[in-house]
Amino acid sequence: MFELISTILKYIFIVIIYYFIYGIIRLIYLDISTTSYTGKKISGKYPYLKLINQREKLKFKVDESYVLDGDKTIGRTPKNEIFIQDPFLSGEHAGIAIDHGICYIFDMGSKNGTFVNDEKISKKRHELTNGDAIHLGQLNFLYVESME
């Protein structure tokens, strides 16, 4: 009886230890992706998008914040300036435009839509104000205006 239990458990022990190692390496990896970006993080000059989601719960790489120092597009493909591999994002999901110091967001024909303060926005430019909650895919961002 003991032999049987021990024989089964030896495989389970190995699985547990390796799964533990996987978990640790994964968390460390997620950690690195933020620390390497802290250098150019928030300069205070430009508005930025701050992630509200708990990053460790997302299964893809995403930064803690994205600086909006110019026109940007957000999407799943690498040709976007802000590219996040969230399966719920469209290839080209939304765009950000800066015009005379005012920041606008607009949808780019995404499948799941872009929401500002729980309201779905269209392809027309929507003006952003400090503290707006932006939701796209699985992501929740907070729009923070520059400190100046």
Q: Which residue ranges make up the site for another protein (CB under 8 A)?
A: 1-3, 5-7, 9-14, 16-21, 23-28, 35, 56-57, 59
Q: Between 6 and 129, name the residue whose CB sits nearer to another protein.
A: 6
Q: Residue 65 corresponds to which tokens in the numbers above?
A: 């914040």
Q: Which helix (H) or strand (E) holds 5?
A: helix 2-35
Least distance CB 65 / another protein (angstroms): 20
Q: Between 21 and 102, name the residue whose CB sits nearer to another protein.
A: 21
Which of 94, 91, 88 minimizes the C-alpha distance to 73?
A: 94
Rounded CA separation 10/76 (Å): 42
Least distance CB 13 / another protein (angstroms): 6
Least distance CB 74 / another protein (angstroms): 21
Q: Contact 121/32 with Cβ under 8 angstroms?
A: no
